[in-house]
């Protein structure tokens, strides 16, 4: 009993503020979700893949409704292969796994998996105001975005703008190490155009597809 209590307590200490913010306003931000060396390695990997031309224009919608539409979003993405993680991808997934378990425990969620891609917004690209959950496929529960851009200044722009239900906006700059969590179903947000290429690791904690829910 005592051991379980200690373990649960550790969970809470590390994630309690994040989870508290998520419950109170639907989104949360922290600077120390992962240590700087992990952020640097993720940036290095994304940057290499991007230089090698491995990113593809991102689309909107799912299945038959999928289409690329740069009037809505102008980023390029590279999906991680869950079955063939690189060493740094394995490490990041392990951190997300701890968060997944903490969220399930604290909020009685049934998060079962994590889908994730690198994203690059080239200078001037943006993503119009939207929510992350699809109408038809509603598995996405929590959006998790880690920014990996070294030496990002205010003038570089590219903020994540989050709207609260009353319409007030909060801007989060995509600085290396900043980690944002949003409720995928409710929280409206947009990406403002950056002045230089803006890199992130963008993922979603998901519940089971509808047909497998009880
Ligand atoms: C998204 C998104 C936000 C960001 O990919 O759906 O909203 O700050 N990204 O990159
Ligand atoms: Mn989004």
98-135 pLDDT, tens per residue? 999 999 999 999 999 999 999 999 999 999 999 999 88
Element (H, E) at 93: helix 87-107
Ligand nearest to the Cα of 185, by number: 2
Does ligand 1 come within 6 angstroms of the Cβ of 116? no
Give me the residue label for tokens 């590390």: 14
pTM, to two decimals: 0.92
Q: pLDDT at position 166, please?
A: 82
- For the record, the structure tokens of 37 come out as 């060396």
CB 109 within 8 A of CB 103: yes
Neighbours of 51 (CB within 10 A): 9
Query: Of 191, 198, 204, which is best to mutate to test ligand 1, by the most ligand atoms within 8 angstroms of its C-beta?
Result: 191
CA quadruple 85, 191, 35, 140: dihedral sign: negative
Q: pLDDT at position 165, please?
A: 81
Residues with C-beta atoms within 5 A of ion ligand 2: 132
Read off the pLDDT band of 51 (50, 70, 90): very high
Tally the C-alpha atoms within 13 A of residue 160's C-alpha that lie toward its C-beta. Answer: 28
- For the record, the structure tokens of 11 come out as 């969970």
Cα 155 from Cα 6, distance rounded (Å):
45
Three-state SS at 109: coil
* pLDDT over 70 at 10, yes or no: no
* pLDDT over 70 at 9, yes or no: no
- For the record, the structure tokens of 46 come out as 């994304």
CB 34 within 8 A of CB 179: yes
Does ligand 1 come within 6 angstroms of the Cβ of 198? no
- For the record, the structure tokens of 180 come out as 């944002």
Residues 6+ apart with CB under 8 A from 51: none
Counting from 1 in the atom list of ligand 1, the atom nearest the Cα of 174 is 8
Cα 18 from Cα 29, distance rounded (Å):
7
The conformational region for residue 37 under phi > 0 = left, psi -120 to 50 = alpha, else beta, is alpha
Cα separation values, 160 from 30, 146, 173, 189, 192, Å: 14, 11, 6, 7, 6
CB 88 within 8 A of CB 38: yes
Q: Which of 35, 36, 30 is nearest to 18 (CA)?
A: 30
């Amino acid at each position: 009993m005592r051991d379980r209590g200690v373990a649960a307590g550790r969970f809470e200490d590390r994630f309690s503020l994040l989870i508290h913010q998520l419950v109170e306003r639907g989104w949360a931000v922290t600077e120390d979700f992962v240590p700087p060396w992990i952020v640097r390695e993720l940036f290095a990997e994304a940057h290499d893949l991007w230089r090698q031309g491995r990113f593809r224009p991102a689309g909107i919608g799912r299945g038959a409704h999928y289409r690329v539409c740069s009037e809505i979003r102008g980023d390029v993405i590279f999906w991680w292969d869950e079955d063939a993680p690189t060493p740094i991808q394995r490490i990041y997934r392990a951190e997300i796994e701890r968060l997944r378990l903490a969220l399930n425990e604290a909020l009685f969620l049934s998060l079962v998996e994590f889908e994730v891609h690198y994203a690059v917004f080239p200078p001037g690209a943006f993503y119009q105001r939207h929510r992350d959950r699809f109408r038809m496929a509603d598995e996405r529960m929590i959006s998790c975005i880690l920014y990996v851009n070294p030496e990002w200044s205010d003038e570089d722009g590219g903020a994540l703008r989050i709207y609260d239900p009353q319409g007030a906006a909060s801007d989060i700059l995509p600085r290396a190490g900043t980690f944002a969590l949003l409720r995928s179903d409710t929280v409206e947000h947009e990406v403002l155009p950056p002045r230089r290429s803006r890199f992130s690791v963008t993922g979603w904690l998901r519940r089971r597809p509808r047909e497998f829910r009880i």
